Structure 1
Amino acid sequence: MRRADPSGRHVLRRTIGGQRRDITVGAVTGMAHQTGEALVPVVIGVAVDRGVADGDLPALLLWLGALAVVYVGLSYGFRIGARAGERASLSAAHQLRTRLTGRVLAPEGGARDGHLPGELATIATEDARRVGAVAMAVVVAVSATAGLLVGAVVLLRVSLPLGLLVLLGTPLLLWLGHLLGKPLERRSATEQERAGHASGIAADLVSGLRVLKGIGAESAAVARYRNISQDSLTATLRAARAEAWQKGVVTLLTGAFLALVALVGGRLATRGDISLGELVSSVGLALFLIGPLSEFSWVNAELAQGRASAARIAAVLDAEVAVPPGPPQGPCPRGAFTGRLRLRALSYGTLRGVDLDIAPGELLGVVTTDPADATALLHCLARRADPDDGAVELDGTALPALPLTDVRATVLVADHDADLFEGTLLENVTAAAPATADVPAALAAAHADEVARALPDGTATPVGSGGRALSGGQRQRVALARALAADPPVLVVHEPATAVDAVTEARIAAGIRTVRAGRTTVLVTNSPALLAHTDRVVLLTGGTVAATGDHHRLVHDRADYRTAVLT
């Protein structure tokens, strides 16, 4: 991955480069529009000199016709340019959202580290929109520059002092506008950071609402969110004040500059250096210049916000990967691996030198006296992280030597807190199921068929976002059915039945053994009902393998095992 650019310039360059065609069309037609706007006072001035001052009616009608043609041209130029600029802006934002989603969901991971889910959503929406708006800002900037140049050239032809005043004063005005945009850029970055953090906290509170109500912590949670939301509001108001101050000062400077242009033009007219029509053109051009100069003020604000948002997007896109993706070959066909797992002197987190051999087709139970040991083991088996020392081998090959997509397709780790997604119960269960999957058997093994029978529309019943239409035990059974329906060569399940009653738990244990017959399955659990159906149990204590054997023998022989599974 490229070296991180904290400023996000490469994000802006790619955003603009990816919309080159629309930006070019928008810029060219925008230039035509601004040129037409600049020519309107010129044509009016000529009409005054040729038609009104000289009393020539045909000449007056001719130049009025020319004015109508200019208006038609600038009107179409604006319509086409605005459409192309908006298309570039929206397309760029969409492409950024797609890239961000792909990076967050990439198998190698790392992009979510240090970010709350709600914060990532803010980056993928509001920050992407602001960076996409830079494409429109480029179109407007090029168009406004064309208008200023045409106005300056006309003024030079009318009067050298007027033209020089515009040519020399405009760059100075733009430079001052750029300096005034610096505070806005800094405060915009803080605004987006605080807003993202507030969104992340809100998402966490909503997802844990039942737990908060259960422990009576609603008031504490509300107070916490209120404080964070107040911080976000304060940052937003500071950014708004910076934007208002920047626009106000730029408007004041612009007005003073245009007043100076009008004053110089008026003095030249009174001395007879320019004609009446040229004075009209000069004053009209001075009024026209308000538009391009005001647009530069808007462009500076958009660029300031876009740069701040691009830096936040770059932090996600350029995040260090959690694990290397491995060699590029793959994917392996289903069934290419027998499912033999071997842990060789594995050290990671709280694990210390774990040696473990899991035979193909074995149903293994893993009991831990420290939940951190279970978490570390799941991270290594799912290859969310590579061990500090030792290795996890699949059919004799270390996981980093295999394509990451093949590892994830072969070894499925079903977490205890697995979420359901918006859709029906059946859509959740079949989300990762192959065409040959026995879905009814998976539903029966997880006793999710009972859940379906209790719902109004059976398996066609929507479960709601995150499965919130279901109880905790129902969600667990649907999630387990989804893992069983996926039918991977190796399935690792972490505490799949903590929210069900003892009778259902025993039935689930028997169902897992039946539906997973002949395929490697690892149950990381302290549930005696599940462990009683395993071929073998491994006890991890202090990060190492303390004992291995039959569940009933370990209950009889090991006090630490009894403590772990029976209390």
Structure 2
Amino acid sequence: MRIRDLPHPDPGVPDVRTGGRFLLWLCGRQLGGQANGLFWGLVHMSAVAAFPLPVGLAVQAAVDRDGSRLALAGGLLTLLGVLVALGDIMLHRAAVTNWIVAVARMQQLLARKTTELGGAMTRRVAAGEVAAVSTGDLERIGWFIETLSRFCAAAVTTVGVCVALVVYQPELGIVVALGMPALALAALPLLPAATRRADEQREKAGRATELASDTVAGLRVLRGIGGEELFLGRYRSASQEVRRAAVRSARMWSLISAVQVLLPGLLLIAVVRYGIGLALDGRIAVGELVTIYSAVAFLLYPLRHFEEIAMSYSFSRPSAERTARVLALSRPVDGRLTAAEPPSGDLHDPVSGLTATAGRLTAVVCGDPDAAGRLAERLGGHPPHRDDEKDRDRDGGAGAGAGGERKSADRPLSVVLGGTPLDDVPRDTARTAVLVQDKDPVLLSGTLGDLLDVPASGRVTAAEALAAAQCRDVLASLAQASADDSGDPMHTHITERGRSLSGGQRQRLALARSLVTDPEVLVLDEPTSAVDSHTEARIADGLRKIRTGRTTLVLTSSPLLLDRADQVVFLQDGKVTGEATHRELLRTHPDYRAVVTREPDRPHHPEETP
């Protein structure tokens, strides 16, 4: 594939069982590119390897004072020079193309995986590791792919030169043929230690990257509490650890490079010493000695490629392991049903026993905030969390589906919408039916118009969604900062992750985006945690009005939202323990009252007024 043909129409389905299998699959997907690199590598290195022949011919012609042979040697040198230049240019072009094509394929695979997992990706793997995979790890794997064709050309050329030397001058050729494998394998005992140090460096670099990303994400809060210097000191310390680990790794690779220079030098000295003895005895001519010397000197060139492939593989192998782990993350992709229309009806979670009635506003209160996050993840169609599966196994190994249906313990329990498990519905159809807004929704960089330009039913306009989310003050501030001085907030640029906005403003814009989409089922995880109580009350009224006739489920502990819900469900230890209106649960459920009022529960007496 050429660079101009990128991106790949289909990046393929990678083999992610191990890092080695992933590298093998990646190389197999571009055999044509590797073959092209190998061809031009052979042209280049064969031309370089052939230089000793005309050089020896020229020396011998000069000794014999043969002008015709000297001219022939000059012509051969000119031809070989052209082939060396052409082969080197085309080899570099092919190798870089292989590198870019491989990295582009991996980037597409990671983008597809990110789209598939959504917000659940950072719950399963640290954000710093995702950043390390998508940057440094892809670079290292691409380096190995780039080096592979050069190494193969060097290996084939080395074997060819050794065979030619044995045929041309058996006594010296056998010495070289026996010495080259020993030289190529001499650095192998040092590779495990070098790999360990390289792994240590990458691990420390990943932790530093994660610390940096977390610090940048919380910079506004850090400035508010005066914690900038503290986190700067932590990052400085982590950075110094990375530097020390890099120095230790570089020392080991320097030692390997020294071995790769020293041992071939000793072989060259031994060959020359032995060859001089043969020349003094008259057993070989001076030109033959020069030819053999030049050939052995050439063999030092492909040895550098052996060192490079060893270094690139040792760096790329753990990177491939990490990349394979990320790409191995999965969720149901395609169901067993092919219905064109998304299902509708009551939303039921068999793990917790929660049921959200169709067309109503249901609020959910969880005693454990982590359980609320896992519930939102399940409602979005992701498999149950490990903790949920442990709870299921402890409770008997099976759960009740909609209508009392029991499911096997060896199959993850799926959320059911209108009697249809979401696992049985194609992913795109399930996403049309159910939309989950995370507790920390992300705003991508772009204009406000771009932010609200999302797939939608068309029933809710952007203006209606912004009004329901109480974004009037947000629109006013954005209008003042509009890029074209038109005063139109839709043309105002929003920075990455909405960092130019306050937490409450980001939260309301994210809510407006979800309302514009107008899905059959909308799940909101703490949608008003960063706004004041007056704004929250107006948002609750606007949400109830704009979602009339649609199923809405809000995970919250805010009394203002709970009081406006049609029904409130209380979850304790991941299971439904109460279901009624907000005021009824306050009166009858002490644990619910303790969570909502944020006060320690005390014994309740019948004569007391709640």
The normalised TM-score by structure 1 is 0.90
Kindly indicate whether the alpha-carbon contact (under 8 Å) linking 1:430 and 1:486 is maintained by their aligned counterparts in 2: no
Q: 1-side partners of 2:462 and 2:280: how far apart? A: 92
Deviation at 1:251, TM superposition (A): 1.3
Q: Is the 8 A contact 1:330 1:406 kept in 2?
A: no
8 A contact 1:116–1:197 mirrored in 2: no
**Deviation of residue 173 (structure 1)?**
1.1
Structure 1 residues 420, 549: CA separation in 2 closer, same or farther (over 3 Å shift)?
A: same
Q: Which residue of 2 aligns with 1:465?
A: 496
Q: Are residues 221 and 105 of structure 1, via their aligned partners in 2, closer, same or farther at CA, if it must alter by over 3 Å?
A: same
Q: Is the 8 A contact 2:457 2:517 kept in 1?
A: yes
Q: The residue matched to 1:182 in structure 2 has which SS? A: helix
Taking the TM superposition and a 5 Å limit, the aligned residue runs for 1:16-415 are: 16-50=27-61, 52-107=62-117, 112=122, 115-319=125-329, 321=330, 323-325=331-333, 327-330=335-338, 332-333=340-341, 336-344=342-350, 346-347=351-352, 354=353, 356-386=354-384, 388=392, 389-391=399-401, 392-415=415-438
CA drift at 1:412: 1.2
Q: CA deviation at 1:80?
A: 0.9
How far has the Cα of 1:530 moved from its partner? Answer: 2.2
* Distance (Å, rounded) in 2 between the aligned partners of 1:332 and 1:299: 51
Taking only aligned residues, the RMSD between alpha carbons, in angstroms, comes to 2.6
What SS does the aligned partner of 2:429 have?
helix
Looking at structure 2, the residues matched to 272 and 436 of structure 1 have their Cα atoms a distance apart, in angstroms, of: 98
Counterpart contact for 2:41–2:88, Cα < 8 Å = yes
Query: How far off its partner does 1:522 sit?
Result: 1.2
CA distance in 1, matches of 2:335, 2:556: 33
Look up the equivalent residue of 1:27 and give its one-letter code: L
How far apart are the structure 2 equivalents of 1:227 and 1:107?
A: 34
Distance in 2 (CA, whole Å) between partners of 1:445 and 1:202 is: 36
Which letter does structure 2 place at the counterpart of 1:68?
T
Of the structure 1 ranges 113-122 and 10-19, higher mean CA displacement relative to structure 2 is found in 113-122
CA offsets, 1:300-341, max 9 Å, x none? 22222222322222232334x4x54462544743xx322321
SS of the aligned residue for 1:412 comes to strand
| Distance in structure 2 (CA, Å) of the matches to 1:99 and 1:524 | 33
Q: 2:566 maps to which residue?
A: 535
| 2:468 pairs with 1:445 | yes
Q: Could you tell me whether the CA contact under 8 Å between 2:537 and 2:561 is conserved in 1?
A: yes
Counterpart position of 1:454: 477
Q: Tell whether 2:496 aligns with 1:496.
A: no
Deviation string 1:451-489 (CA, Å, 9 cap, x unpaired) is: 122212112222211110101111011010111111110
Q: 1:543 to 1:275 in 2, by over 3 A?
A: closer
Could you say what secondary structure the match of 2:181 adopts? helix
Q: Following the alignment from structure 2 to structure 1, what is the Cα–Cα distance between the partners of residues 216 and 118?
A: 28
Q: Does the 8 Å CA contact 1:108/1:324 hold for their aligned counterparts? A: no
2:382 counterpart SS class: coil
Q: Relative to structure 2, which stretch is displaced further, 72-81 or 299-308? A: 299-308
Check the 8 A contact 1:330/1:405 in 2, yes or no: no
Larger mean CA deviation between 400-409 and 299-308 belongs to: 400-409
Letter aligned with residue 33 of structure 1: H
Higher relative contact order (CA 8 A, sep 6+): 1
Return the TM-score normalized by structure 2: 0.84
Cα gap change, 1:147 to 1:549, in 2 (>3 Å): closer
Structure 1 letter corresponding to 2:26: T
Q: Percent of aligned positions with the same letter in both sequences? A: 35
Cα deviation 1:264-293 (Å, max 9, x = unaligned): 222222221111221221222232222122
Are the equivalent residues in 2 in contact too, given 1:127–1:313 (CA < 8 A)? yes
2:41 is matched by which residue type in structure 1?
Answer: G
Give the aligned residue type for 2:35.
T
Structure 2 CA distance for aligned equivalents of residues 314 and 563 of structure 1? 45
**Superposed CA offset, 1:405-459 (max 9, x none):** 4333311111221121122222223234356652221111112243122212112
Assess, with a 3 A threshold, how the Cα gap between structure 1 residues 186 and 495 changes in structure 2: closer, same or farther: same
CA contact (8 A) 2:336 2:424 kept: no
Deviates more, 1:95-104 or 1:62-71: 95-104
What CA distance in whole angstroms lies between the structure 2 residues aligned with 1:430 and 1:222? 38
Structure 1 residue matching 2:187: 3-state secondary structure: helix
Residue 542 and residue 186 in structure 1: after superposition, are their counterparts in 2 closer, same or farther (change >3 A)? closer
How far off its partner does 1:26 sit? Answer: 1.3
What 5-or-longer segments of structure 1 have no aligned partner?
348-353
Cα separation, 1, equivalents of 2:319 and 2:515: 42
Q: Give the match's secondary structure for 1:106.
A: helix
Query: Can you give the 5+ residue segments of structure 2 that lack an aligned partner in the other structure?
Result: 1-12, 393-398, 402-414, 483-488, 599-610
SS at match of 1:537: strand
1:390 is paired with a residue whose SS is coil
Report if aligned partners of 2:186, 2:259 keep a CA contact under 8 Å in 1. Answer: no
- Look up the equivalent residue of 2:312 and give its one-letter code: E
Q: Does the 8 A contact of 1:368 with 1:540 survive in 2?
A: yes
Q: 1:308 to 1:565 in 2, by over 3 A?
A: closer
| Residue 515 (str. 1) matches residue 546 (str. 2) | yes
Q: Which moved more, 1:103-112 or 1:405-414?
A: 103-112
Question: What CA distance in whole angstroms lies between the structure 1 residues aligned with 2:451 and 2:162?
Answer: 65
Once the two structures are TM-superposed, the CA of residue 23 in structure 1 deviates from its matched residue by 1.3
SS at match of 1:103: helix
Aligned equivalents of 1:398, 1:274: Cα separation in 2: 84
Shift of 1:83: 0.8
The 8 Å contact of residues 432 and 482 in structure 1, kept in 2 or not, is answered as: no
For 2:375 and 2:313, locate their aligned partners in 1 and report how far apart those are by CA, in whole Å: 47
- Structure 2 letter corresponding to 1:78: D
Structure-2 separation of matches of 1:157 and 1:550: 95
- The Cα shift of 1:502 comes to 2.4
User: Does the Cα contact within 8 Å between 1:184 and 1:305 map onto a contact in 2?
Assistant: no
Per-residue deviation at 1:539?
A: 3.2
Counterpart CA distance in 2 for 1:151 and 1:466 is: 59
